[in-house]
Amino acid sequence: MSTSAVRNDTTASPGGNRWLILVAGVLVQLAIGAVYAWSVFAKAIQSHDAFGWSKAQASVPFEVAIGMIFIGSYIGGRIQDRRGPRTVALTGGVIYSLGVILASFAGKDQFWLLILGYGILGGFGLGMAYIVPIAMLQKWFPDKPGLITGIAVAGFGFGAVITAPLGQRLIAADPSVPTKAFLPLGIGYLVAVVIGASLFRNPPAGYVPPGMVAADADHAVEAHTKDAAPEADFTAAEALGTRQWYFLTAILTLSVTAGISLISVAAGSASDVAGYSAAAAASLVGVLGLFNGGGRILWGWLSDRIGKMPAFMGILGIQGVCLLLIPHVASPILFAVLAALVYTCYGGAFGTMPSTAGRFFGVRNAGAIYGLMLIGWSLGGIVGPLLISSLIGEQKAYTLGFTVVGIIALVGMALPLITKKPAPRTGTSSASGAPTAPAGRH
């Protein structure tokens, strides 16, 4: 690749349209967010008219994909900070799409092929592509980082809302081989990520958004947010050397654990606790996906106004209280309200954490730093469903399961209370490239 090509991938002309780049980021997130529609395919695969796989076996491809997200986001984040967003997003999006297409050739006796395609390749490519717009858009929108990254990752939350009914219709065309639905879906994802990622680029050095002065762009002036930007950008190694990185990752892990615990048993608990029919429970799950996406925008915007740590206290606290109440409600309406609040807060953590990491460590190396933090997504995504399913068990002990997870979320509220921004590291360069003197802890 020529030097000019790399530069075009890394930076944009001063006239670059940041709103068009935001739309492109949402398009990519819509395509890769389809992973949350896996339950539609898992249910079809378990049918005796199809593959007749067990519930545990049908969950493996999704679990593998979630586990691979961290690996993809870590590698993609590090490459993005050096090579620019377009190269990484295109690479990750193509790998993800080809993985989904490969999964379409899996038959009843090709369980390994579904694991390889949807799980390993799909999850890895998803992780690479997911981290790109989050890191890139914070650089384009220093005046509203929480809102904008919230909008970007809302696309991920809404991806399942689109894919779930479309996937159901494709499965119905040949219910005996539900994996065939992945072929047209994979092709559609490929087109979307290529179009969206082709528009990705970083802003030029010293970029100042319209309506902001240079000093505000450098420090994301506190008139726009309760949390001022750091005085210097951390490298990934420097961020890992602070306790704050581990506190933030733990907060993300706890929020994911709480929210995905309900998500993993939403349909069953709606029927067993609140008396929903199977069809009504399935419809409710689809509607709740809207709150997952909407919560990413709402909490991202709110965190810019009230501060990042107060926002996380609200996210964990609301989830904890709702989870404690859910097993005791017989009203379908009240159940839906409580579940919607949990989904909103679950999405909210993903909408708030990227800009929080930017406030703590700077945006220059945001890809690598936040990419590493997504291990919390993988950990929570595995621990949450396993924990609540084992607690509920065959006896359907919903009170025990939701109470334990709810208490974990409430106890986790202590973490935002003790999490303060790190002091700049000695010799760290500021966003403008000038070295800064060491500062005391604040």
Which residues have C-beta within 8 Å of that of residue 109, sequence separation ≥ 6? none
Average pLDDT in the 412-418 region?
Answer: 96
- 316: in domain: yes
pLDDT at 172: 87
Number of domains in the chain: 2
Residue 10, number of CB atoms within 10 A of its CB: 19
> Quick one: 122 and 257 in the same domain?
no
Residue 251 has pLDDT above 90, yes or no: yes
**Other CB atoms closer than 10 Å to residue 301's CB: what's the count?**
18
Choose one of 157, 186, 204: the last residue of a domain.
Answer: 204
**pLDDT higher than 60, residue 42:** yes
Which of 189, 204, 219 is where one domain is finished? 204
Which one has a higher pLDDT value, 320 or 205?
320
Same-domain pairing of 177 and 309: no
Does 223 reside within a domain? Answer: no
Q: Is the pLDDT of residue 351 over 50?
A: yes
> Which domain covers residue 296, as residue numbers?
236-423
Of the residues 181, 204, 227, which one is the last residue of a structural domain? 204
Higher-pLDDT residue of 231, 173: 173
What is the arithmetic mean of pLDDT over 42-70? 83
More confident call, 366 vs 52: 52
Which range, of 100-104, 112-116, 221-225, 244-248, averages the lowest pLDDT?
221-225
> Is residue 45, in this structure, part of any structural domain at all?
yes
| Alpha helix (H) residue ranges in 15-144 | 18-32, 38-46, 55-83, 85-103, 111-114, 122-140
Averaged pLDDT for residues 154-165:
83
Same domain, 244 and 198: no
Q: Is residue 11 one of the residues assigned to a domain?
A: no
Q: Could you tell me which of 210, 183, 66, 167 has the C-alpha nearest to residue 126?
A: 66
Length, in residues, of the chain: 442
| pLDDT band (50, 70, 90) for residue 231 | low
Q: Quick one: 197 and 243 in the same domain?
A: no
The proportion of the chain whose per-residue pLDDT surpasses 90, expressed as a percent, equals 41
What's the rounded Cα separation, in Å, for the pair 150 and 340? 17
**Tens digits of per-residue pLDDT, 9-20?**
555 444 458 889
Burial degree of 154 (CB within 10 A; 0-12, 13-18, 19+): buried
Question: How confident is the model at residue 38, as a pLDDT?
Answer: 81
Contacts of 327 (CB under 8 A, 6+ apart): 269, 273, 398, 399, 401, 402, 403
**Res 211: pLDDT:** 61
8 lies in a domain?
no
Report pLDDT for 229: 55
Q: Is 331 a member of any domain?
A: yes
- Is 157 in the same domain as 266? no
Please return the burial class of 365, using the count of CB atoms within 10 Å of its CB with bins 0-12, 13-18 and 19+: buried
- Pair (386, 306) in one structural domain: yes
348 and 267 in a single domain? The answer is: yes
Q: What is the mean pLDDT of the chain?
A: 84
Are 155 and 248 members of one domain?
no
Cβ partners under 8 Å of residue 209, min gap 6? 18, 140, 141, 142, 143, 217
CA 327 – CA 280 distance, rounded (Å): 18
Residues 49 and 175 in one domain: yes
Same domain for 30 and 165, yes or no, is yes
If asked whether residues 300 and 393 sit together in one domain, one would say yes
Alpha-carbon distances, residue 149 vs 298, 302, 356 (angstroms): 11, 12, 10
> Domain check: are 247 and 332 in the same one?
yes
**What's 400's domain CATH number?**
1.20.1250.20
For 100-109, write each residue's pLDDT tens digit. 999 999 988 8
CA angle, residues 261, 264, 268, in degrees to nearest 5: 110
Q: Is the pLDDT of residue 221 over 80?
A: no
Give the range among 169-173, 267-271, 380-384 with minimum mean pLDDT.
Answer: 267-271
58 vs 119: CA distance, rounded Å: 12
Q: Is residue 411 part of a domain?
A: yes
Distances (CA, A) of 197 to 13, 81, 85, 293: 17, 16, 8, 21
Kindly state whether residue 410 falls inside one of the protein's structural domains. Answer: yes
Q: Which amino acid is at 193?
A: V
